[in-house]
Amino acid sequence: MDVKIVAVLGSPHGMKGATGALLNRLTQSAVAAGADVKTFNLAEMTVKPCHACDACHRTGQCSITDDFATLKSALLAADGIVLASPNYISSVSAQMKAVLDRCCGPLHCQSMAGKYGVAVVTSGGGESEEVERYILRFLQNMGCWTVGSVGAEARHLADAGARAERLNAAASLGAQLVATIRARKTFPEQENMHRAFYDRMKMLVTLRKKEWTYEHEYWKSLGRL
């Protein structure tokens, strides 16, 4: 089976930064396991912040013309999604947040449900885990199965032994992501979260059916309503 993975890197340092190094090891390992991996480096792209016009909900199209349309198509076609960001004030970078916010249409439509996701985070002083959890929660809300996450702090990356250990953890996660996709594994412990968010979106789209015509039609066309 052809496994398609899309990675999104949210550091302004691109592949030269700490997050890029960790992500690179993960994607190399996924490629070695036979996956087709495409990395989107947000430092080289323009993805503007959402301006809350609701066009995606009404028409299915974002009103902002920039590189998000290409990224969204790639994400929708992927089996696996890797979201990589530095810790910026206990959250993701602004570049990554713009991508998450622009996914509001697919979130309402649950159109990425059933894909597999992982998170990659680096931080200066710590708290990578908090940001890993934030990214994993986003992926779960999108309906994706989350396979795991990997984080590293500056002190790990400055020490040869700890750096090698973190890079190995990234490589393992890359291989695990590909194996999980191939096996079409499901995670029973995530099912309740998926169901609760799906039901919430169903209620929202039903409630706003007069304004959010595209999303209501989308749900109806799939026989979900």
Ligand X SMILES: Cc1cc2nc3c(=O)[nH]c(=O)nc-3n(C[C@H](O)[C@H](O)[C@H](O)COP(=O)(O)O)c2cc1C
Taking CB under 6 A as the criterion, the residue among 126, 155, 168, 199 binding ligand X is 126
- CA separation for the pair 139, 220 (Å, rounded): 23
Amino acid at 155: R
Binding mask 69-108 for ligand X (x = CB under 6 A): -----------------xxxxx------------------
- The correct pick among 24, 41, 122, 180 for binding ligand X (CB under 6 A) is 122
Give the span between the Cα atoms of 135 and 92, in whole angstroms.
8
Under the binding rule (CB under 6 A), the answer on residue 137 touching ligand X is: no
| Using rule CB under 6 A, residue 20 touches ligand X | yes
Q: For residue 38, with 0-12 CB atoms within 10 Å meaning exposed, 13-18 middle and 19 or more buried, which class applies? A: middle
Cα–Cα distances in Å, from 155 out to 27, 44, 53, 57, 163? 23, 28, 43, 44, 9
Instruction: Closer to ligand X by CB, 13 or 182: give it.
Output: 13
* Site size toward ligand X, by CB under 6 A: 18
Among 127, 129, 130, 217, binds ligand X (CB under 6 A): 127
Q: Which is nearer to ligand X, 92 or 112 (CB)?
A: 92
**Contact positions with ligand X (CB under 6 A) in 28-57:** none
Among 41, 110, 111, 123, binds ligand X (CB under 6 A): 123
Question: How far apart are the C-alpha atoms of 177 and 148, rounded to whole Å?
Answer: 8
In degrees, to the nearest 5, what angle opens at C-alpha 67 toward C-alphas 65 and 70? 110
Query: Using CB under 6 A as the criterion, which residues of the chain lie in contact with ligand X when the complex forms?
Result: 11, 13, 17-20, 86-90, 122-127, 154
